[in-house]
Amino acid sequence: MEPGIRLDEHLVLRARACARDIADGVWEHVDKHTTDSVERTSLRLLGVTGVNDIDVPLVNVIVEQSRELLSGGIVGPFVALLMRSGRDAQEVAEAVASGQLSLAPVPPEQRARVERTATELALRGVGRIDAVRRRREELVAALADPITPWLYVIVATGNIHEDVVQAKAAARAGADVIAVIRTTAQSLLDYVPYGLTTEGFGGTYATQENFRLMRAGLDEVGEEVGRYIRLCNYASGLCMPEIAAMGSLERLDMMLNDSMYGIIFRNINMRRTFVDQYLARLLNARAGIIINTGEDNYLTTADALEKGYTVISSDFINEEFASRAGLEPWQMGIGHAFEIDPSTPDQVLYQIADAQLVRQLFPAASPKYMPPTKYMPGDIFMGHIIDAMFNFT
């Protein structure tokens, strides 16, 4: 007998066809629209960074001041101004933010030249991402790549300096992936804080400087322990593609990046989310970043036996959207979680069957390991048992 679950392949094909139909229904909108965060991401990839005198990110200031231009994209008017002024992208951004310069529609006779220059500048931004990806490949080749399954450890003190200390200790104790939980409700902030931070709540702010500091710390301890230590953070919420761009530039290796999480669990506008997730995943695909999808969240608010099918449905939809953004199967961390009530008879058998189903449906996908969240109330020994059974599964 073949090992594993006997699957009805016709049903599997039908499920993937349904996922394609769902994606088709969304794609016409995605292909024709932009969002504030998409436009801000474009400016970041051109090299714009920093904040104004009241700590508002320059990309936010420019987008707010040029709202009437957004429907056609802000890159063209920005590059046209860059060409006219003879300044670089950062200088133009600072001048626009201070009111010295302003963006305007590109005259028809200049559009071809502006588009050529914009393409050249965009390719430079992509080149920066490519260089970061090559550096990861060099380090993985030089150091021992951990065998799978990778041990995934979370740090989240709120203080990036303390996070680095904990992350190094975890790597020395055998951790292969360090995930930095974001501060509470950062996914609902419509801007990315600037610089290093030391005062998060229930997590640490996802900022480019915090990414840089943690990456440097993990590279240092990776040399010490003789293996490449991967870094994970969250590219979701209102700034999803901006955080993906920062992660691409600072050599993050994994990002939690679900196509529907913000809609279902954060009540974020679905039209915006589907546009944002596409650019975020395009960037992750180019950067060689593994995305982890968010199906474990479904079962924190619903019974795992009654609603387990929602996990599989979401897996198929996330796979389809990821494929359309160019992510390869090995970059898809398809979601699953150990969430069945410990008092349920045969719950371990059900859980192993669920995990086996996900593995067989997505055989080339990158496995995702997330900690269990349901324990028997007041029973720490049951908690330890469930932890062990989760790792076993």
Residue numbers annotated as active site: 261, 296, 368
Tell me the C-alpha distance between 198 and 188, whole Å: 19
CA dihedral 338, 340, 341, 347 (to 10 degrees): -110
The residues that bridge with 180 in the sheet, in sequence order, are: 155
- Mutual angle of helices 270-287 and 111-142, in 10-degree steps: 60
Tell me the C-alpha distance between 334 and 317, whole Å: 11
For residue 250, give the nearest of 270, 230, 272 by alpha carbon: 230
In contact, 239 and 37? CB cutoff 8 Å = yes
Tell me the C-alpha distance between 311 and 337, whole Å: 9
In contact, 145 and 365? CB cutoff 8 Å = no
> What is the per-residue DSSP string for 31-54?
HH---HHHHHHHHHHTT---B-TT
In angstroms, what CA-CA distances link 368 with 77, 280, 291, 336, 393?
42, 19, 9, 7, 12
**Residue reference for tokens 């040399």:** 223
